Amino acid sequence: MPTYDYRCEKGHTFELFHGIKDETPKACPTCGASARRVPAGGGGLLFRGSGFYITDYRSSNYKERAKAEKSGGSGGGSSKPSGGD
């Protein structure tokens, strides 16, 4: 069951955890006024592991640096700045 964000007529915001088909009127726990559901930011989505473009098609340079980091390599790598013209 998802968590929904609500805002009452007086401006209080709160979250409720209920089923998708639950259409009963919601009341603000602070003041008791009726509340309406508001759009929520949602959760972030992060793909990990093999089978995703972001992890399978990295450059060989990136893979080498990641392997060195994992094994506790020198830690410094090159002294060149990574961004710039």
Range of the domain at 26: 3-38
Residue 51 included in any domain: no
Residue 22 included in any domain: yes
Range list of H helices, the chain:
53-56, 60-70
pLDDT tens for each residue of the chain, 85 residues long:
788 899 999 999 998 888 888 888 899 999 999 999 888 776 777 767 666 666 566 778 888 888 888 887 555 555 455 554 4
- Adjacency order of strands within the sheet including 34-38: 13-17, 3-8, 34-38, 26-27
- Whole-number pLDDT of residue 12: 93
Q: How many domains would you assign to the chain? A: 1
